[in-house]
Amino acid sequence: MAAALLLSDLAAGAGGVISDILLGHDEHITRLRELGLVPGTRIRVVRRAPLGDPIEVSVRGSRLAMRRSEARHIHITTE
């Protein structure tokens, strides 16, 4: 059974499929979509900074760093 979580809640090494991205006018969220973070995309948390922010994710063969506040907008379905 699949569980739905926020990307910001995943532990290092955990991953899943993006199920939804909350809409908003935040330019950072728009930029993440432009980088390929769209529903249906597989994503994995590679590591977190010592204080938990930022987090590094692997998506579509690339690694991206994002703030935890940005990751809270991304819903993940885990398997």
As a whole number of angstroms, the distance between CA 45 and CA 57 comes to 4
Can you give the residue range of the structural domain that contains 17? 3-78
Number of domains comprising the chain: 1
Report the CATH number at residue 48. 2.30.30.90
Residue 30, helix vs strand vs coil: helix
Q: In a structure prediction context, what are the per-residue pLDDT tens digits for the chain, which is 79 residues long?
A: 567 899 999 999 999 999 998 876 677 777 888 888 999 999 999 999 988 889 999 999 999 999 888 888 899 998 6
Q: Comparing C-alpha atoms, which of 8, 1, 4 is closest to residue 57?
A: 8
Are the beta carbons of 18 and 38 closer than 8 angstroms? yes
pTM of the model: 0.84
